[in-house]
Structure 1
C-alpha cells in the first residue's frame, strides 16, 4: 500500500499544479471580463447620457409650448408656426408638432401635415391614441417608444398635457421625434465605440425590443436604465463579436500545461527509478509468502532460519514461532515409517542435496495431527561454493495419499470380486477389443488372459452372435442419443467359442462406458452360462417338431376309420354317436397339429400367407356368436364401435381368413374370460391405414407378466392356459404385416391394440 501511495505522489503533484493552473486561468479570465465590462459600461454611459440629453432637449421644446399655451390659450396658427420654427432653428430630428384638443388637431407644424379639425386618432397609430387618452386622464407626459408611422419610418411620440392658469385642461402638445437622428445624436451609431447596443421598453407584458437585436440581451450585456414618464427604457451593450476570452488564456493553458506535464513526468520517472529496486526485492518475498507451498530454509545444524506464512498457517504456528527450532523433532517425526532416524537422513541430505532421501515425509502439526508432504530441495551456497543453507519446498499430499490408499483398497476389493465370481466379466475399448477379462473365463471357455486381451471380441463369437452383438451396440448408441437418465444397457444371448472348439451360450448384460462428454469409450459385459438351458430349449423344439409330424400318421386312421365303420352299418344309435365323437375329436386334433405346424413356419419366417378380402365386421360378429355360451354365462356385454360412425359398406382388409379369425378369437376369448361377471368388452375400430382395432375390457393384467405378455409360454400363475395364446396371436399379426401391443396404463382396465395393413 505505501508503494502505491508513493506512485500516486507525482500524479497528485501534477493534479495540484493543474488545479493551480486552472485557478490562474480562471482568475485571469475574471479579471479580463471585469475590465471589459467596465470599458463597455463607460462607453454605454456616454451613449445613455447623450440619449437622455437629446430626448430631454426635445421634451423641453414641448414643455415650452405647454407654457405658451397656458399663457395664451387662443394662440393662432401663424403665431404657433413661427414659435415652433424659432424653437427648432438649432434642433433637428423633430418631424412635426401638433396641438390637440378633444382628439382634434387645432395647430400643426409644418401646417401641411394636418388639416384643422382632423382627428388625431385617424392619422396616428393606435398606440398614439391610447397614449393621448392616458395623458389626458393622468395629466402626465407620455413618451412612446419608437413606433412605426404611416410614412414608414419610426418615431418617438411625446404627448404633454396643457393646462390653463385656473387648472383646467386645455388639450395637449403632441411631438413626433424621428428615432434615427435621435439615436445618431446620442452616439449609438458611432462605430468607434465598437459596441452592439440595443434598447427595450418594460411593459405590463414584459420587455419589448425598441432598437437593436434581441441577441444582445441574451448575451449577458451591460445594462443601464433610462427613466421615462411612464416607465423605464433599458439599454444593453456587448462588445462587437460578443464577449471574448482573455488574450492570456491560450499562452497560460499551453505554457502552464507543458510545465505541469514536464514536472509530473519528471516526478514519475524519479519515483519509478526509486521503486524498481523495492519491487525487485519484494517480488521474491511476495512469491514466497503467498505460495501455496511449505517453504523453509534450514542451516547446517538443521535448524529453521526462515518459513513462509503459508507454513505457519497450515501447521498452526504463530508468526515467527518456528524460527531457530530444529526441523527434525519439530515438524518431521524423529523416525520414519520404516524406523530409520530422520536426523541421519537430514544430515545425509545436507552433505549431498541431490541424495533422494526425505522425498515424502509426514509432518507434525502443532495440534499433533500428521499431514503428508512431498519435498523438493535446493542448496543455498556462499560465493565460494560452500553450502550454507538448504531451501526446502514442500507440497501437501495428504488428500492424494488418502486417495491412493482408497484406490488400492478398492482395486483389491474389485479384483477379489472379479477373480472369484462365477460369471464371466469382460471389458472392451471403443473398437470392441478386449481390455479385461475375469479369471472365470479360463475355467469356462479355456482361454488364458494373454490369449484374449487385445483381440476383437467378435473373434470369439459365432456368426449369428456377431450380428446380435452389432445390433446390441446400435441399440445402446441409440439409447445414448435419446439421453437416458441412467447408463444404457441391454441383455443378449450370445454364443461364444471355446478353446477346444466347442461353443457355449452366455446370457450377457451389455453396457456402454461413456466419458464426461457422453462419447462411448468402451463396453462392459457380464455373462452367465445358459448352455444347459439352450440345450433344453432345443430339445423341446425337437420334441415338438417330432410330435407335430409323427402324430399326423396314426391320426389319419383315427379320422378315417369311423366313417368306414359307419358305412358298413349294423351299429346301434349309441355306437354311431360314439364313432362320430371319435371322428370329430380326431379332426380337431388334426386342426391343432396343422396350426402348430403353421406357427412353426411363422417362427422361422417360411409361412406363405394366402390373402383374400375379408370382412372384418362379419368376422367379429361370427366370433361373438361362437362365444355366446361364455358371454351368457358371465353376463358380459360386447359392443363394436367404429370411429366416425358405422360405415355403410363392409370393412374389408386383405388377410388369410382362418388365420385372422384364429387371432381375433384368441384375443377376444382372453378378454371375455378376464372380464368380471356383468362386465363389458368394447371393440373399437379406427379405419386408417394401417387399421387399428382396440379391445378394451375390465380387469388388469398382473404386473409381473406385462413385459412378457406376448412371449412364448408367458402366463399368470393362476391361469389354466398354456401361455401360447397371446404369443401365437402376435405371431399371426406380424405375419400379416401388423403388430399387437398391450396398454395397461389405466388402472382397472386392459387394452389390447391390433394394427393391420389395409392393402
Structure 2
C-alpha cells in the first residue's frame, strides 16, 4: 500500500476478532432484513429513521429510500401527533429504557392498521444514547376480533340487561345468585345489590321450600341439562305470581360451573286460561241445558196436543151426559188432564217457554208477603230466617212464579235437612261484571239466596241438579222437575242461577234477576174478535182437529176443517162465509200457522185469526214478528177458555 507521498506501507489483515464481529453483524443484518412479520428499524436519537427492513416495508408501504431520514412521527395519526404521543414515546424509552403500547398507525397510502409497538433505547459502552430500536407488528386482525368479541359481549350484556319481560340471571352451582337483570328486578322486586349473593330458593313459596322444590329443580337441571316448570313464585313484597321457569346447566370442560335461569311472569295468561275454561264450562252447560230445553219444549208441545184431544172430548161429553156417575168419571178425567197440564207447564217453565205475567216488584215485599207459606213448608226441626237487604232495587218479574220458584228451593232445602238445621233466605243488590255469573251481561242485579246446612251434594250430582227428571229422591218422592223449573224461570226472566254445594257443608242456591229503573207494565195478550159464526179449523194432527171441531160445534159454531196451510188458503179463496180462522201454529210440514195467518189477511182481510199453540206467545215472538195483530190461546184449552177467546 502506498502513502500520498509515495512511501510504501506493508499490507496487513484485520484481526480475527474483528472479522468475526463483522461476520456476526452481517448475519444479524441479513436476519433483520429478512423478517417480514415484524417492522424492525432504527431511529437516531432525534427520532429519524436510520434503517428499514422488509417487514417495515410490507407493513407501512415505504421503500427504504422513501423513508430513511424521515421522522418516525409520520407513522402516527394526526390526533396522536397533535397530542405529542411520538415525543412522549421517545422520552419514556430514553428515561426508562423501553416504551411499549398498542395503537393506530398510518401506512403510506393513508390507511390505518392497529399495531403492537416496542421502542428500546440503545446506548454504547459509555452509556451514551446512540438511537432507538423499534419493533412494530400489525395486529389489526386480532384487534378486529377482540373488538368484535367485546362488541358482541357488550350487545349481549345490554340485551340481557335491557330485557324487562323476563328475569334472566345466573346461579352458582349451589344456587346463589351471581348476576341480575332489569327484568328480574321488575318481576321479583329485588335490586341487583339485594339479589346477588342471595340463594334463589328465596323466590319460592314457603310450602315449596319446605317440600324441597328448589333443590330438586337444580338437581334435575344438572342431571338432564335443562329443567322447565310452571308454578307460584313470591316477590319481595310477599305477593305471588305464576311463573314459567327454565333452568339450564352451564358446563365448562364437562364441569358444572353454574346455572342460567329464565323466569317469566305468566299470571295474566294463567288467569285468562282459567277464565276461558270457566267460560267454556259455562257455555257447555248452557248449550246442554238449551238442548234439553228444546227437547223438553217439543215433548210438552206434543203432550199438549194429546191433552187437547182428551180435554176437548171431555167437554163435548160433558154437554151430553147428565148422570151423576158419569159426571164423577168425567171429573176424575178432568183432574187427570189438569195434572197433565201442570206437568206440561213445569216442562215449559224449564224450557223457558212458559208465558210470564211480569210486573215491577220489590222482591223484599214479595218475600215478606209469602213468608208464612215458606215457614209452613219447613218443619219444627228447621230454623227458618230471613236476611233481607234494607233497600232493594226493583225488578221486572212474574211474582206468582217467583213465589213458586222460591217455595221450590225452600222445600228442597228442607228435604236436605231431615234431622233439622238452619235455612236462610237472603236478598241483596249486586253489580256484576260481564260474564261474572254464567253468561249474564254486566249491570245491576238483585241477588236472592237460599242457604241451608244440609247434607250438600257431591260434584257429579250438583252438575246435573238442574236437569229435568233428575232426582236423588226415592221413587215416588219427586219428579225431578223442581230445580229445572226454577232454573227455567230465572233464565226466562233474564237472570241466572248458581249452585254452591259440598258434601257435609250444606247448599246455597243463588239466583240473579236484572234490576230496573222505573216501572214496567205487565204483558198483555192480543184480543180476538167476537160474533163469529163459521170457523175454519186448521191442524195437522187429525185427533186434535176432530176434538177441537167437536168442541167448537158444541158451543154453536159452524166448522170447516183443513189439515194444512195450502188447503186452508184454497178454502179461503173459494168461500166467502168464513168468519174466523182458528189454526195451530206449529205444523211440521209445509206452511206454518203464522204464515197462513198473514196470507189470510191478504186474501180475506175481514176474517179474524186465532192462533193456538202449546208454545207460549213470548216464545213465539222470539221467532216471529207482528203477532199482536192475532188472538192467541194456549193448548190445552178448555171450553170456557175457548168460548171466552172467541167471543171477547
User: TM-score interval w.r.t. the shorter chain?
Assistant: 0.3 to 0.5
TM value normalised by structure 1: 0.32
> Could you say which structure has the greater relative contact order, defined with CA pairs below 8 angstroms and 6 or more residues apart?
2
